[in-house]
Amino acid sequence: MEKEKYKLCLYVAGNTQKSRSAITNLERYCKEHLADHYTVEVIDLREHPHLAEGKQIIATPTLIKKLPEPIRILVGDLSDQEKFLVGLDLKREG
Protein backbone atom coordinates (compact mmCIF):
# COMPACT_ATOMS: atom_id res chain seq x y z
CA MET A 1 0.00 0.00 0.00
CA GLU A 2 1.38 3.40 -0.97
CA LYS A 3 1.87 5.99 1.74
CA GLU A 4 -0.41 9.02 1.56
CA LYS A 5 1.03 12.22 0.14
CA TYR A 6 1.08 15.16 2.54
CA LYS A 7 0.36 18.64 1.19
CA LEU A 8 1.67 21.29 3.59
CA CYS A 9 1.53 25.06 3.38
CA LEU A 10 3.65 27.23 5.67
CA TYR A 11 2.68 30.88 6.06
CA VAL A 12 5.45 33.20 7.29
CA ALA A 13 5.82 36.98 7.61
CA GLY A 14 9.16 38.08 6.25
CA ASN A 15 12.66 36.75 6.86
CA THR A 16 12.47 36.70 10.66
CA GLN A 17 14.21 34.31 13.04
CA LYS A 18 10.85 32.60 13.74
CA SER A 19 10.17 32.21 10.02
CA ARG A 20 13.62 30.75 9.35
CA SER A 21 13.29 28.37 12.32
CA ALA A 22 9.88 27.18 11.13
CA ILE A 23 11.18 26.50 7.61
CA THR A 24 14.27 24.67 8.90
CA ASN A 25 12.27 22.58 11.38
CA LEU A 26 9.61 21.73 8.80
CA GLU A 27 12.20 20.62 6.23
CA ARG A 28 13.97 18.43 8.81
CA TYR A 29 10.78 16.78 10.10
CA CYS A 30 9.51 16.10 6.58
CA LYS A 31 12.77 14.48 5.50
CA GLU A 32 12.89 12.36 8.68
CA HIS A 33 9.24 11.28 8.85
CA LEU A 34 7.63 11.66 5.41
CA ALA A 35 10.46 10.67 3.03
CA ASP A 36 9.26 11.51 -0.50
CA HIS A 37 5.59 11.64 0.44
CA TYR A 38 5.09 15.37 0.84
CA THR A 39 5.00 18.74 -0.87
CA VAL A 40 5.64 22.01 0.95
CA GLU A 41 4.64 25.48 -0.15
CA VAL A 42 6.08 28.43 1.78
CA ILE A 43 4.12 31.67 1.46
CA ASP A 44 5.51 34.97 2.71
CA LEU A 45 2.50 37.04 3.71
CA ARG A 46 4.50 40.26 3.53
CA GLU A 47 4.96 39.66 -0.19
CA HIS A 48 1.55 38.02 -0.85
CA PRO A 49 -0.93 39.12 1.85
CA HIS A 50 -3.90 38.24 -0.36
CA LEU A 51 -2.99 34.53 -0.09
CA ALA A 52 -4.08 34.53 3.56
CA GLU A 53 -7.65 35.51 2.75
CA GLY A 54 -10.13 32.95 4.00
CA LYS A 55 -7.44 30.89 5.73
CA GLN A 56 -8.08 32.26 9.25
CA ILE A 57 -4.40 32.93 9.86
CA ILE A 58 -4.09 34.94 13.06
CA ALA A 59 -0.35 34.49 13.70
CA THR A 60 2.78 33.50 11.82
CA PRO A 61 4.37 31.14 11.23
CA THR A 62 1.31 28.98 10.60
CA LEU A 63 1.47 25.52 9.04
CA ILE A 64 -1.64 24.12 7.37
CA LYS A 65 -1.81 20.42 6.53
CA LYS A 66 -4.17 20.34 3.56
CA LEU A 67 -3.83 16.65 2.73
CA PRO A 68 -4.49 14.01 3.85
CA GLU A 69 -7.66 15.11 5.56
CA PRO A 70 -8.56 16.24 8.15
CA ILE A 71 -7.02 19.68 7.74
CA ARG A 72 -4.73 20.57 10.63
CA ILE A 73 -3.29 23.93 11.66
CA LEU A 74 -0.11 24.39 13.72
CA VAL A 75 1.07 27.82 14.86
CA GLY A 76 4.64 28.69 15.85
CA ASP A 77 8.18 27.92 14.79
CA LEU A 78 7.58 24.14 14.90
CA SER A 79 10.41 23.67 17.40
CA ASP A 80 8.42 21.02 19.30
CA GLN A 81 8.81 17.88 17.19
CA GLU A 82 6.36 15.88 19.34
CA LYS A 83 3.65 18.52 18.81
CA PHE A 84 4.38 18.50 15.06
CA LEU A 85 4.10 14.71 14.77
CA VAL A 86 0.88 14.56 16.81
CA GLY A 87 -0.56 17.56 14.95
CA LEU A 88 -0.02 15.90 11.58
CA ASP A 89 -1.37 12.54 12.82
CA LEU A 90 2.04 10.92 12.41
CA LYS A 91 2.11 9.90 16.07
CA ARG A 92 -0.48 9.38 18.78
CA GLU A 93 -0.39 11.47 21.95
CA GLY A 94 1.14 9.88 25.00
Tens-digit pLDDT profile for residues 42-67: 999 999 988 888 887 889 999 999 99
Cα–Cα distances (Å) from 19 to 8, 29, 60, in that order, read: 15, 15, 8
- Residue 2 to residue 89: CA distance in whole angstroms: 17
Per cent of the chain over pLDDT 90 is 73
CA distances, 50 to each of 4, 46, 55, 66, 83 (Å): 29, 9, 10, 18, 29
| Its pTM surpasses 0.85 | yes
